[in-house]
Amino acid sequence: MMTGSAGQLKKTIHIVAGGPEPLIPDLSENKNENIVWIGVDRGVQTIMRAGLYPDLAVGDFDSISQEEWEKIEREVASLRRFKPEKDETDMELAIMWALEMNASTVKVFGGTGGRLDHFMANALMLAKFKQVHPDIHFEMIDVQNNLSVYLPGSYEIKQDRKKFVSFIPVFSDVSGVTLEGFKYPLNHHYVPVGSSLCISNELIQETGHFSFEKGILMMIRSKD
């Protein structure tokens, strides 16, 4: 694992929210990896059904029964239960805890599907945290999509089963966008917020590159 400047181990943290389970990849594939697991509300039960052990359960747990809560109390070492009337969402509280734990990578599962307000809030929240913590990789994953956030710079991307690649400006327009190795290349292009210019592109080489000079880009890799 990576080591931080203060000598603390950098952690890979997976956060599982209470989104529709059919959209959540098989979490048990990560069983033998050194990952810290956080369950958000009903996401705690999703983790346990995958044969994994949550390191933390966080949320108001207003959507579970008393019997389910008692099981969580028995099986999860660390609990943070909040009143439903609060300023932060359960997901935001989970990410804040992950940052306290010196995360290098934060991956969110169960944050898509179902309610659009939850999905939009989660996606924009990742962009907000990326602004403040540029060295942390933030990603939201379901069976059909991978969503990640990037600050200005140059990046490499490889082909995988999610063949469609979309780039979406977040919060403000993005300038200097260059795409190499793509079906629809760009060279130092200006992409305003709300533009569909960079939607549903595809890699035509095994490895491609993208770069930009100003703004925040959300990259979504998808499959039909």
| Confidence (pLDDT) at 50 | 92
SS (H, E, C) 115-170: CHHHHHHHHHHHHHHHHHCCCCEEEEECCCEEEEEECCEEEEEECCCCCEEEEEEC
pLDDT per residue over 105-158, tens digit each? 999 999 888 778 888 999 999 999 999 999 999 999 999 999 999 999 999 999
Residue 86 pLDDT level (bands cut at 50, 70, 90): low
The residues of the chain that CATH labels 3.40.50.10240 are: 11-143, 150-222
Question: Comparing 18 with 212, which gets the higher pLDDT?
Answer: 212
Q: What is the mean pLDDT of residues 64-71?
A: 82
CATH of domain 150-222: 3.40.50.10240
Asked whether residue 6 carries a pLDDT value surpassing 60, the answer given is no
Stretch 8-17: mean pLDDT, rounded? 84
**Considering the entire predicted model, what is its pTM?**
0.87
Report the percent of the chain where pLDDT is more than 90: 60
- Give domain 11-143's CATH number out of 3.40.50.10240, 3.40.50.150, 3.30.70.1380, 3.20.20.70: 3.40.50.10240
CA angle at residue 93 from 89 to 95, to 5 degrees?
115
